[in-house]
Amino acid sequence: MNELQVELKNQLERFRNDKIEPTVEHDDKNESFKMEIFRELGQLGFCGMTLPEEYGGAGLTYQDFCVALSEIAKSSVSYAATISVSTMVQAIINEYGNEEQKKKYLPELTAGQEIGAFCLSESSSGSDAASLKTTAKKVDGGYVLNGSKMWITSGGIAKTYIVMARTGEEGHKGISSFIVQDGMDGFSYGKKESKMGWRVSPTRELVFENCFVPEENLLKEEGFGFKIAMSALDKGRITIGSIAVGLSQRALDESIKYSLERKQFNQSIFDFQGLQFMMADMATETEASRLLVEQAAMYYDLGTPNQKLASMAKLKSTDTAMKVSTDAVQILGGVGYTSEYPVERLMRDAKVLQILEGTNQIQKVVIARSLKKEYS
């Protein structure tokens, strides 16, 4: 880590201990997202870290961003995920938006005054994203959206939604991306999901019923929406990876601390070789994940995105988070299974990391396709 990254990490460690930890258990039980925590993170510059300064961002690298997200995730995967997805939305507008769109939407998002959400999945199109059915029919001055989106992170608390909808033929070439805002006529919220983990971060259905979206809210051009979504997910998968690394690190920290203190058979349980080997594996896997995430982020920072590495980083780090958090519960034993210690929450929060922004099976599809191309 460089000097700046150490400083960011220390600042966020203080923040999470002061502002997130005291109520994290209560908020998890009550599914309570606190906008004031998100806004404070915004005031500190953590809600638009990779965006250019001219639009209110901090102009930092994806490697810096990953360090920050890992640190936040040690206390709350939900706040880290909210920032990760909102930054993905900002990156889309910055990369594919015109000057007017950037000026209009980015400052509130980069400042953390408002949240952005990414809307691709539908009830019948999850992994097969190109088969989505929400339609955007061209009319005078804009488009009329009809359909619904499912499992939307920050649904209901976000103000700015990037919505992928069909403007043309079947398949990926008929998909376009739109900026839709909370409050637009015909746009409403459906069912809020009751989830195993990520309970502080709301996940909700979005419903479009003859929702008129003005022409100026189309991103880039008709038919470009699938590529916008896929290229955004390449970055999102790296940042989800960094969240997984933070979660694994916290699970490991809790396991070591507890096993050094807990005594059975007249010795601390850390001194049993069976547990030492578990923790040695947990530490090694966490470090390997961190290095892979860093490497994938570095390629982005150098301007040479590597889709295969992004998928590898997501696959490795999220599988590791699931394994490490499950092992942490095992090491803590009976108390690990209760909410007295954070490891049961970490285990619940880890599961969806293997599912969202492309299941880990989809990551393997991306990696294998890339290998085939390299070797053909």
Binding site for ligand CAA (CB under 6 A): 85, 118, 120-121, 127, 129-130, 151-153, 172, 226-227, 230-231, 233-234, 307, 356-358, 362, 365-366
Least gap, CB of 323 to ligand CAA (angstroms) = 21
Cβ at position 317, least distance to ligand CAA in Å: 16
Please say which residue, 43 or 127, places its beta carbon nearer to ligand CAA: 127
Q: What is the CB-side half-sphere exposure of residue 138 using CA atoms within 13 A?
A: 9
Whole-angstrom distance, CA of residue 193 vs CA of residue 115:
19
- Rounded CA separation 68/245 (Å): 11
Using the minimum distance from each CB to ligand CAA, give the nearer residue, 33 or 226. Answer: 226
Nearer to ligand CAA, 145 or 356 (CB): 356
Closest to ligand CAA by CB, 286 or 354: 354
Closest distance between ligand CAA and the C-beta of residue 286, in Å?
A: 23
C-beta separation of 293 from 348 below 8 A? no
Q: How far apart are CA 120 and CA 122, in angstroms?
A: 7
| Residue 132 main-chain phi, psi, to 5 deg | -60, 150
CB of 375 to ligand CAA, least distance (A): 17
Q: Which residues are catalytic?
A: 357
Cβ closer to ligand CAA: 165 or 233? 233
CA distances from 314 to 50, 126, 185, 236, 284 (A): 19, 17, 37, 9, 17
Least distance (Å) from ligand CAA to the CB of residue 199? 15
